[in-house]
Amino acid sequence: MAAWVNLLLLSASGPVKTPVGACATAVESVEVGVETIQSGKARIVLVGGYDDMHEEGSYEFGNMKATSNAEDELLRGRTPREMSRPATTTRSGFMESYGSGMEILMSAQVALEMGVPIYGIVALTNTATDKEGRSVPAPGQGILTTAREVPGKLPSPLLDINYRRRQLDLRRQQIKQWVEQEYEYLHHELDTLKQTQQLAVTEDEYLAERTRHIDHEAKRQEKEALNAWGNFFYKRDPRIAPLRGALASFGLTIDDVGVASFHGTSTKANDKNESEVLNKQFAHLGRTPGNACPSVFQKYLTGHPKGAAAAWMLNGVLQILETGIIPGNRNADNIDKQLETYEYVLYPSRSIHTDGVRAGLLKSFGFGQKGGELLAIHPDYLFGALDESSYNAYCAKNQAREARAYRYWHDAMTGVSPLFHAKTAPPYSDELESAVYLNPLARANYNDKQQTYLFESAKVIELPVDTQVTQQLLEQMTRSAQGQGDNQGVGVDVELVSAINLDNATFLERNFTGAELEYCRSRPDPQASLAGRWSAKESVIKAVSSFRGDGPPVWTRGAAAPLCDIEILPSESGAPLVVLHGEAKAAAAKAGVQSLKVSISHSGQYSVALTIAS
């Protein structure tokens, strides 16, 4: 209905959002699902489309001359398998079909945590209207807006993934400084509350709550930074087309689009219009001449459903990404001569076995002058961003999930257990219903007896907060304020756990000793353990440097100097112990430092270290 309002009353062209879009319904469903996940309203979404075929609808499609006429086709000697001939000279309309097509969407983080099979990355979805019109089946070119941009004389530096990485590193440094400052402000906040008698909880409770807030805010800021310099950098930037920006998010260009899945209904108007749209997009975005993109017209085989159309096409694109095989249009016995003018589009009649397809572009057009587009990227671009330990952990989860799924399917097929388990009750009791609704942190636990997930309680379960460093920092600042810390140097350092790259062998060898690496790799979370050691080393430098007060600097090496001379080892009690070597030992002796005491705390997103030099 929304498309009809635009068709008859608005005559708008460009981005649009409606829940149903005729033959483009499934791609609109994907767009709604993507935005639902990105907005935080859901973590997993089922999308797609379905329909049935009715006599009335089929009759009206025939009246529109949109479908092929079986009697005419038989008179021409065409068998039913040849009656859908997209892109050919003799095409005469689509063959109707019906069914359903579904996809499961989730964020990359959730997919990795669950160990689910990942078939592709939805890098971009767009829907668009096609101005006014009186012909319902006539296609339009509103989807061209995914290539809209007004480029400058030079390419935007935002398109350079190395530039964006540099900006992300700078932003992480700012977040680190913010966390350090917040820890320092805690002393003043606590003193003010005490003096005004407004401290309504104990000091320990106050510190735990504020530490938890700092951790939560640091996570939020890093997520914003990842969005700003990651997948959202091109949003609302007229210099960068949405399609170009989505590709650049993964270090790709328009030349890396290896396949285009056509709506390809086998009507005279659609196949020509769709080819023209794709060709214009490639030309506008600067695809290299001669780099023709293979097209896929799978409706030669499946016919044309309505609600399920784009879902079937997306599943086909995901199969292409997985296998590297681009299926040909087997009914393309004579490609329309008009299509020869589109230099960037290749119309194969046989399958092409490639060495891999990086990205695939899908278009879907719906009656009512509206269309949609989707860009799918090979999942290797996700796996390539993981460190080795994260990838191995995902593979282990994936194999275990596959084994459980196989067992479930096998038991269902052999009658051991039913395939479908109908729910007979909600996962919470009547007494817990309201509490579960009102508590965003309520979580269900698996019940072995009932073999389902149940809410046994709606209490908020907070993770324990390590406030050791916070306590020591406040005590040290209090002593300094009372004049008791004049002969001490204090160093505080915060490091984001995500900033430690476990796969960077050069970084690890330059900054950690063999004993440190052996210890950290034996811990449950090696990355967090290394981040703690790294922050401890930095805090040692700050403590030694501050010990001399206004005297000449004793630490003269630059910020990029290796830190192997500062070794953080576990003592017999498990507490961190500072051992200095080489130039670091000489710098401490020059400053007059006789003792270094370090404490390390982990607060989820980051590690905090406090060193006191005396």
- Say which of 54, 187, 213, 263 is annotated catalytic: 263
Cα torsion 586, 590, 596, 598: sign? negative
Q: Is 369 helix (H, G, I), strand (E, B) or coil?
A: coil
CB atoms within 10 A of CB 411: 13
Cβ(120)–Cβ(378) below 8 Å: yes
- Measured in residues, the chain has a length of 614
The sign of the dihedral angle between the CA atoms of 221, 497, 443, 439 is negative
Distance CA 100, CA 214 (A): 47
Contact 363, 277 (CB under 8 A): yes
Catalytic residue among 23, 187, 520, 602: 23
Instruction: Take residue 596 and report the two structure tokens written for it.
Output: 């270094």
Q: Is 410 in the active site?
A: no
| Number of other CB atoms surrounding residue 495 within 10 Å | 25
- Decide: 308 and 365 in contact? Cβ < 8 Å: no
Does the active-site annotation cover 304? yes
Residue 143 to residue 149: CA distance in whole angstroms: 13
Using a 10 angstrom Cβ sphere, with 0-12 exposed, 13-18 middle and 19 or more buried, the burial of residue 49 is buried
Q: Which of 443, 478, 480, 447 is nearest to 462 (CA)?
A: 443
Give the CA dihedral 430, 436, 437, 438, nearest 10 degrees: 120
How wide is the angle at C-alpha 218 spanned by C-alphas 212 and 222, nearest 5°?
150
How far are the Cα atoms of 80, 265, 325, 467 from residue 77, in angstroms, in the given order?
Answer: 10, 21, 31, 82
What beta strand segments (E) does 394-524 contain? 445-447, 452-454, 489-496
Which residues, at least 6 apart from 389, have a Cβ–Cβ distance to it below 8 Å? 502, 526, 527
Neighbours of 118 (CB within 10 A): 17
Are residues 480 and 547 in contact, defined by beta-carbon separation less than 8 angstroms?
no
Active-site residue, selected from the candidate residues 187, 304, 378, 602: 304
Give the 3-state secondary structure of residue 445.
strand
Q: Which two tokens stand for residue 179?
A: 């966390």
Helix (H, G, I), strand (E, B) or coil at 100: strand
Closest listed residue to residue 316, CA positions, set 302, 331, 330: 302
Q: At what angle do helices 25-38 and 309-323 cross, to 10 degrees?
A: 70
The DSSP annotation for 243-290 comes to HHHHHHTTT--GGGEEEEE----S-HHHHHHHHHHHHHHHHHTTPPTT
Residue 514, helix vs strand vs coil = helix
Reference 92, options 294, 270, 278; nearest CA is 270
As annotated, the active-site residues are 23, 263, 304
